[in-house]
Each structure stands twice: as C-alpha cells, then as structure tokens.
Amino acid sequence: MLTVQPMPYVTRYHETTLAWILAELAADRLPRRLRVQVFASIGAGDVRSAIFRLLESCHRDGVPIPLQMRLSLSNWLDGYAGTEIEAILRPLIDSGGAVTLART
C-alpha cells in the first residue's frame, strides 16, 4: 500500500475527479471484478490505488485514453514529483501503446 502524501497543490477533489473519469472511460473494458474493486476504492476514498489499478489495466489491455485525459493525468502526477507514487505511475503514463503521452 502506498502511503505517499500529495504535494499541497494536488487536491483530493482533483484526484477523485480524475479517478472517476478514468474509471468511466475504462469501465466497459475492465473485468467485472476489477471494475467493482476500482469503484469501491474510489467510493471509499482510496483514489490513488484506483488510479494505479486503472492505469495498469489500461496499459496492459490497450484501453485508449483520450489526449486531454492523459494530459490531466500527467499534470496531476506532477504534483507527486520525486515521490514513490510518481516513480510507479509515470512509466504507465509515459509508456507506448494506449497511454503514450507527449511531454512538454
């Protein structure tokens, strides 16, 4: 379980909104069990875990993520610069396939 505290400019509201949008984008392509786990995690406030699971699943299964969402995820993750959560999630966002991101 990751216990990294977000930087001050990463709000809980922003994280939760990103998690719900990503979950909705991937919902039809997620296995039922994972979909239930992700929705329950978000509802329980464990949004970083849900985002991690969603990014991992989207990367593994080639679920396309729209450019605007990818940019939002990258901006959100910038709030965790230099932390364990960034080290784990950045490769999922920056990798090839469905989650390729052009960095500025």
Domain extent for 37: 12-93
Q: How many domains does the chain have?
A: 1
Model's pTM, two decimal places?
0.76
Residue 103 lies in a domain: no
Residue 32 lies in a domain: yes
User: How far is it, in rounded angstroms, from Cα 62 to Cα 55?
Assistant: 10
Tokens of 104: 């500025």
Residue 100 lies in a domain: no
Pick the more confident residue, 102 or 87: 87
User: How far is it, in rounded angstroms, from Cα 79 to Cα 85?
Assistant: 10
Q: Is 54 exposed, middle or buried (0-12, 13-18, 19+ CB in 10 A)?
A: buried
The dihedral over CA atoms of 68, 104, 100, 93, expressed in degrees to the nearest 10, equals -80
Residue 73 lies in a domain: yes
Q: Please, which pLDDT band fits residue 99 given cuts at 50, 70 and 90?
A: very low
Residue 1 lies in a domain: no
Instruction: Give the number of other Cβ atoms within 10 Å of residue 73's Cβ.
Output: 23
Q: Please, which pLDDT band fits residue 20 given cuts at 50, 70 and 90?
A: very high
Residue 99 lies in a domain: no
Residue 40 lies in a domain: yes
- Dihedral sign from CA coordinates of 100, 25, 30, 84: positive
Residue 65 lies in a domain: yes
